[in-house]
A and B are shown apart, each in its own frame.
Chain A
């Protein structure tokens, strides 16, 4: 993760949002992820989503843990505070941050390793509290920085670059969130910006815990034939990759499809994944029927995407606790204790 600032030169004709800012004002430093990484597409989608929502940069807080995904908050909205926490612990930091200041907009970017292995406990407990945040999982089924181990979201039968195919049941963030009562659950694909941007916008605007699981392929370590989280990106001489600088560039994928259709995405290496847009029969307000639908389609090898569940009625963390509307961090300290006389009264009990 090098730190390269982008030149701040913008075309005078760039569109401005209601704050008078251009999309360039929502950019971060130059990404150091592998060229063609799905995560960079998610970063672009986040920039567009925040720009279009007219969020003041300093009122956005960017939270992450450890991993390729967790580096990305450096690559968007430089004028926001970022918190790159320890591995798997972004949810707890965000919980504390939100407890202190409920007025900020919290966007957490995590990965399948960060959220579903080391951080599974914190992930599920943030859902239980209905923490008001947009929680993005950039899901590629693999550990990139440590060079290619399966993550907990790897599907049964998915093949690694070397060694045996995965035989363990995957942990699916969407059905996990559904079972725990998350109030906004979406799944998308990094190559489908058209679908992803509105889903992120909805998540940012949702009052409570909003999960956006984004299939975001790893072009370097999970891009071969037989991988279920793959673009099956062809690359010769790949076994040498130790230094990321040697990874050749790949083209971004773009897909677009109509409602109600299963969409086989043909990747440039010729393999396919199947994306399914929300069916007209799908009821995103019923946990039980959503769960069944998702499992049925999963068993057919399809990945269901879109806004999968929504419950706007449940209160978020502060309201569940009955906390004041003012951010706690902004209350003057002298207003938070009853003073010397009252202390004397309190201590009478201990005589």
Chain B
């Protein structure tokens, strides 16, 4: 069953093309990560799917209907931005306000308990810590017992512990059969939660596949070694230096090692390992701009769908 669907969805703001003929299908039970730098079009796509903006061209559907119709949003849960909670209202009041919109809301006590906010129920949201506010914001997405939860940057600005608490809540919702669409520019987050990743860059879908497949598509390996002086090497995408070691990112680790050997470089402690999604992602969005093959989403055959992402602000 398809819960959310975008068909050639396009959105312009004046002259700016924020979203360019994007196709996306989210089926029941999926946990989909939407990945891309700021300005890639993630929020625009999400705003269309939850009924906040209409597409300039193309179509979006939520539970088979127009997301702008309230009836289509009955089984949808959305997270407000943490900074947007009304500061003068108490935690319990905010929960009650949202609950009033749903036929069978989760009881307030149960919800606050699940998100560790029971002690804060009487506090005004303006007086909460950043982590508490964020937990409340995410909790609000679950008030109405949704089938689909859409989380736009759910853990931005959280410390590691708070982030893991929220991840647990998202995972357990998904384990109970819930569907999640989650946007992030934290690659670690998408990697930790999502089974399927949709990479957006400059308003287009660059890739749509499993986390593993995205890594394989890009095929970037990290070659780490300790060496005093390295010559210029072909096929190196990026170079980093940490703790006296040099890390080289490359799409062909075998050839790089051969080149290192033939160049007669004195190196120690050679290590070759797969990259994190973050590194793969940087490669897709920032690699050679002449190869703008932007393969139609989901075929998974693109070797490198490279469109330069706008810099992360």
Tell whether A and B belong to one assembly: no
